[in-house]
Amino acid sequence: MGAPGEHEVSRGTWAAVASFVLWGVMPLYWHALKSVPSLSIVLQRIVWSALFVGAFLLWRDGRGWLRSVLAQPRLRGMLAASGALIAFNWGLYIWAVNAGHVVETALGYFINPLLNVLIGVVFLRERMRPLQWLSVAIAGAGVLWLTINYGRLPWIALALAGSFALYGLIRKLAAVDSVSGLGVEGAYLFVPALGMLAWQTAHGDSGFDQGAWTTGLLVLSGIVTALPLVGFAYAVRRVPLTTVGLLQYIAPTLQFVLGVFVFHEAFDGTRLVGFVLIWIALAMFAGEGLLRATAANANKIAQPD
């Protein structure tokens, strides 16, 4: 596949922004399901998202959509690996939230973009301009400050960040349509997840016995899960990981706003220092990109074809 054009990069950037906004406000959704066991929520996410995406692909591409992807052994293996990574990420995240490690999960989503930037530069040979390097360094200082003041090795945060960074790398390298790739991931996970969910339902642990509202939210979790993943997979195929990495700060920033102003979680001046450093880095990165885009457009106007 050739390098994406300017319009594709623009669409990919907007897809990334929309995905990260959805992920940022998603704690509101999972908070409404706090009475359901964590494992049940994960299984419901897998089953309903697989059904939702599979039905869409069947309508769009017919019955051959899965066969065409699985006919490619390398691609098949890559999507099996990415499916396992995203299932692990979901499971650890929901377990950590229900176990009272919300701060550490937020830290993980701040570390994650830095890992994406590192992967983009080291493994994909993506290049960054000096001001971008400075913004990454400032963001890294903010994350380091938050890590040090957390008081211990944040293994949950590191595992969340690492699993999603590797997921993003695989989906960037996998030459597959974003929705089809998600459909194959779901196909790999569907049967084991459905079996475990059936066992939980038989033992009254699936959440289906908690009323129509909870059941509806569990079913809709498939769409809520699929939409940002499709957007993310679409974006990483068209936008440099260095850009995607820094845009990902949108999600944990929104989570921060929800945590402080909606859920009224503790937030002191020490943590504020780390957040301010990250916000400064974001402002620098966005401002540099805007200035370059403005200059490029001005050159096009000055030098018409």
Provide block-wise average pLDDT over 10 residues at a time, the chain (305 residues): 68 90 88 86 92 89 82 90 93 81 80 79 82 85 83 83 90 85 92 93 82 90 87 83 76 83 80 86 76 71 61
In a domain, 266, yes or no: yes
H or E element in which residue 71 lies: none
In a domain, 267, yes or no: yes
Which residues span the domain enclosing 73?
A: 6-292
A 10 A CB-CB count for 17 gives: 14
End-to-end CA distance of the chain: 27
In a domain, 298, yes or no: no
What's the CA gap between 292 and 42, in Å, rounded?
A: 42
User: In the structure encoding, which two tokens stand for residue 96, read together?
Assistant: 């950590």
In a domain, 210, yes or no: yes
In a domain, 190, yes or no: yes
pLDDT of residue 4: 63
H or E element in which residue 223 lies: helix 212-236
In a domain, 14, yes or no: yes
What b/e string do you get for 185-218 counting C-beta neighbours within 10 Å, with b at 16 or more? Answer: bbbbbbeebeebbeebeeeebbbbeeeeebbebb
pLDDT of residue 60: 84
pLDDT of residue 254: 86
pLDDT of residue 44: 92
In a domain, 300, yes or no: no
What's the CA gap between 22 and 223, in Å, rounded?
A: 12
Q: How far is CA 219 from each of CA 39, 41, 42, 169, rounded to the nearest angstrom?
A: 15, 10, 12, 29
In a domain, 22, yes or no: yes
| pTM beyond cutoff 0.85 | no
Domain count, the chain: 1
Q: Write the DSSP symbol of residue 267.
A: -
Phi and psi of 37, rounded to 5°? -55, 145
Phi and psi of 263, rounded to 5°? -90, -5
